[in-house]
């Protein structure tokens, strides 16, 4: 059910990543902070990919 909600909300999280996020939240990690980290990691990944494309 949670994966379906994730897909409907277009989070881009796969089952493994979603499971890790849920476990972290269950252990007390702030969900908003976790979301911010995921967004920053995605931005960094996109920037690295763009840089690789420019050097290729």
Give the whole-angstrom CA distance, residue 35 versus residue 42. Answer: 11
**Would you state the pLDDT for residue 26?**
98
Say yes or no to pLDDT of 56 above 90: no
pLDDT in tens, 1-54: 999 999 999 999 999 999 999 999 999 999 999 999 999 999 999 999 999 999
pTM summary value: 0.79
- C-beta of residue 32 within 8 angstroms of C-beta of residue 40: no
**Would you state the pLDDT for residue 31?**
97
Residue with the bigger pLDDT between 55 and 21: it is: 21
């Amino acid at each position: 059910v949670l994966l379906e909600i994730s897909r409907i909300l277009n989070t881009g999280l796969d089952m493994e990543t979603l499971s890790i996020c849920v476990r972290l939240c269950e252990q007390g990690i702030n969900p908003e902070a976790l979301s911010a980290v995921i967004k920053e990691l995605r931005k960094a990944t996109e920037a690295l990919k763009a840089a690789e494309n420019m050097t290729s």
